[in-house]
A and B are shown apart, each in its own frame.
Chain A
Amino acid sequence: GQNIDQPTEMTATEGAIVQINCTYQTSGFNGLFWYQQHAGEAPTFLSYNVLDGLEEKGRFSSFLSRSKGYSYLLLKELQMKDSASYLCAVGRDDYKLSFGAGTTVTVRA
């Protein structure tokens, strides 16, 4: 199976930057996903990294180091609407997508 670890909660101020770390152990690695999930809603896709390095997409960036089994999601210029749970998910070369328990980010004014 997979061990996927991410912090349970983070709090930050509006306009600030927050970095959510995710570490994983898996076989047959085939990419790492980040999803955003607002309370009571379905997860929505944010990013996918399969090669090492940083992928930037607007205010959100995602980084991957395959050798270290490590990824982070960087949220810049935080807005109140960014308050949500952020899920790290590891894809395998069979078919499964294994999710971490999620990091709840609270943005305060």
Chain B
Amino acid sequence: GAGVSQSPSNKVTEKGKDVELRCDPISGHTALYWYRQSLGQGLEFLIYFQGNSAPDKSGLPSDRFSAERTGGSVSTLTIQRTQQEDSAVYLCASSYSIAGGGETQYFGPGTRLLVL
């Protein structure tokens, strides 16, 4: 596609429910990243994928968070048993390759998650 797309754009859920956020990267980009941006805060790195592999999951805030990527394309970030502190904008980005951090990342519009 022309750019990174994410769905849903907005999600309101009740505390304790599970949510699934989707990211569709730019076609041909092998690297995919998930970030979280809380109100007034900088972007917090969560996880990255090189192909379908996520070598380092240490950025995920807790074991309630998981992510997968299939077919080297679409990625899903799942939050189980959501808590109010999970409320944030979840941004996905992709880059052509991982290239040691020097590759430009292109961001999707984000999913705004509100946990009541």
Contact = CB atoms under 8 A, between A and B. Distances in A.
B1 interface: no
**A-B pairs with the 9 shortest C-beta distances?**
A91-B101, A42-B107, A99-B43, A101-B42, A30-B101, A99-B42, A92-B101, A31-B102, A93-B100
Interface residues of B, number: 26
Given A30-B102, A48-B104, A101-B40, 8 more contacts: A30-B101, A43-B43, A45-B104, A89-B43, A91-B100, A91-B102, A95-B48, A96-B59
Interface in B55-78: 55-56, 59
A43 B107 contact: yes
Interface of B: 4, 31, 33, 35, 40-43, 45, 48, 50, 55-56, 59, 91, 98, 100-102, 104-110
